[in-house]
Chains A and B, each alone.
Chain A
Amino acid sequence: MPAGAKFGLLGPNGAGKTTFVKLLLSAVHPTAGSARLFGKDASLPESRRPVGYLPENHRFPTYLTGAGMLDFYGALSGLSSQERRRQIPGLLELVGLASWGPVRIKKYSKGMLQRLGLAQALIHQPKLLILDEPTDGVDPAGRREIRDILDRLTGNGVTVFINSHLLSEVESFCDHVAIMRKGQLVLEGKISNLLAGSGYTVSASGVSDSALNDIRRTGAAIQPTPQGVSIQSPNRDHANLVIDKIRAAGGFIDGLKPSGSSLEDLFLKATASDETLIERAA
């Protein structure tokens, strides 16, 4: 994964997503093969130093306050007490819990716990953030806040790895995706390329009939719309050719968007196949 990527891991129940994450974090041991983090054997504690993790169904110690919890996990992450004291107020501020630091965790709502969990994952300024269902139980406004925080982090070079069953969440936030099925990687690539691989829709107006016939001969599907026409191109090169022809004929391009499959279509296709097909879209 390139630094700063927003990577989503998808798969049906039982595909092995959580096991994969636990392998990376050495919570489970591989029966065969090995896992590496930043070039280091993942079973070594040191390899986990640049990693922040928010597990699914976490159980934070309810006897701690929010600030106390950050202090505890900060210490386990190798931070000195001075570093922890410096980091904690800013982190609580970042996740919108500035006034909740001295309050015991048992008084926190589910959404607040998720945000606090995110803060504990960030306390040692990790290079890689692994989040298991990060917006589980969070209301829409809270989801938006979490996405905004993650966007800021990726802007600063932090790589975010999200394990989620929410396709819409992955589609709206991630730029890379991988789909697992029965413990195998079946699809992986940049979301924009994977979806673009299914074709483009070019919306145009003011295009002459002769130009439309010319375009039709290239294999494009043309559909009249109230504003003009909607042209389906099977790939990016073809879409460029269509645009060139429309402009050469004096027509206007009203819109261009990837068409065909949604992430849901891709997911269903990838997880239904019996073959293990790794499609890498650069």
Chain B
Amino acid sequence: MTDHQKTSSSNVILSLVADTFQEARARWLFWGLFALSSLLVLIFLFVLQVDLAAGAISFLGVGSTSRRIFSIQKFVNVSYSWVSIVLYVWGTFLAIFASAGLIPAVLEAGRIALLLSKPIGRTTLLLGRYLGNLLVVALNHIYLVGAVWLILAIKTNIWNYRFLLAIPVSIFIFAVLLCVVVFVGVITESAALSVMAPVGLGLISVLLAQYQVVIKLLDSEWSRRLWMILYWIVPKVFDLGSALRESILLDKQVDWATPVWTSSAFGIAVLVSALHIFRKRDF
């Protein structure tokens, strides 16, 4: 690849990312996400403003100073951990709803024909769209988690930096689920199905993660194996959320590797399949 071609490819990717961003803005998706995130931020602000937290802290603070500091710390960690889960679930699923139409929109007849006539590969085209979508959601996650973290920290004066892990974890799981959105969008061109599939996978992952309980209840070996196979295949939406909560609650390192690499493998496999189908499709 020559320098000119490299520059041209990066220009193309940047243009596709910018175009997706502009489309998200024009369709009010970007502002909708921002508005709903702001609503959640305002709710947190309101809850803390009415001194619900201060009341609780004061209640826990009965006793010696050292015991009081420990209790406040614990209360804040518990609060932070649960708030992070709320943001993780809220942010991820809201982002999926917002992103569902962006892939089918680009596949509309009359639009895709013109895009494909340009000297760009189909892989570049779809990846540019994917990255643009990811950027829109990433900015929203940074805003949402950052704002809530600032509010909590200023109010309690406890700056729990582990809470900010909610940003990369939420962006990561969205990136994995966005692969499913792209896959379903490329095959069906349906925005509704593009929402249903990742949301369904997210809910299934909650069930599959209960394998320690479920395999005791299953009476056949093959059904236990099937459950475990599905557990390993499906992205670990639940496990990552649990890891995030534990990391904040216990303030220690947790096992990120397993849910991250299995979810990454799933996302990559789905995205590669989507790209393959997109390259072979006639428009």
Contacts and interface: CB of A to CB of B under 8 A. Distances in A.
Interface in B1-49: 7-8, 11-12, 14-16, 18-19, 22-23, 25-27
A130 to B, nearest CB: 8
B117 interface: yes
Interface stretch (A70-78, A85-93, A164-172, A198-206): A70-78
A255 B115 CA distance: 50
B120 to A, nearest CB: 6
A75 B15 contact: yes
A22 B113 CA distance: 8
A59 B15 contact: no
B119 A77 contact: yes
Contacts of B113: 22, 25, 27, 53, 55, 58
Contacts of B14: 75
B219 interface: no
A73 B120 CA distance: 11
Which of B116, B117, B283 gathers the greatest number of chain A CB atoms within 10 Å? B117
A78 B19 contact: no
B112 interface: yes
Interface residues of A, number: 34
A162 to B, nearest CB: 15
Interface in A30-55: 45-49, 51, 53, 55
Contacts of A75: 11-12, 14-15
A130 B117 CA distance: 10
Contact of A29 (B22, B26, B119, B282): B282
A61 interface: yes
A55 B23 CA distance: 21
A53 B121 contact: no
27 contacts: A22-B113, A25-B117, A26-B116, A27-B113, A27-B283, A28-B282, A29-B280, A45-B118, A55-B110, A55-B114, A56-B110, A58-B110, A58-B114, A59-B109, A60-B111, A60-B114, A62-B26, A73-B114, A73-B118, A75-B11, A75-B14, A75-B15, A76-B16, A76-B119, A80-B7, A80-B11, A81-B11
Interface string A114-139: 00000010000000001000000000
Contact of A59 (B19, B26, B108, B283): B108
A27 B118 contact: no
Given A73-B114, A75-B15, A28 B119 contact: no
Question: Which size bracket describes the interface of B in this complex?
Answer: 20 to 34
A64 interface: yes
Interface in B95-111: 108-111
A119 to B, nearest CB: 13
Nearest to B128: A76
Nearest to B12: A76
A22 B283 CA distance: 8
A78 B22 contact: no
Contacts of A72: 15, 18-19
B110 A27 contact: no
B116 A49 contact: no
A235 to B, nearest CB: 42
Pairs of residues from A and B, 5 with the lowest C-beta to C-beta distance, nearest first? A63-B26, A75-B15, A59-B110, A53-B117, A28-B282
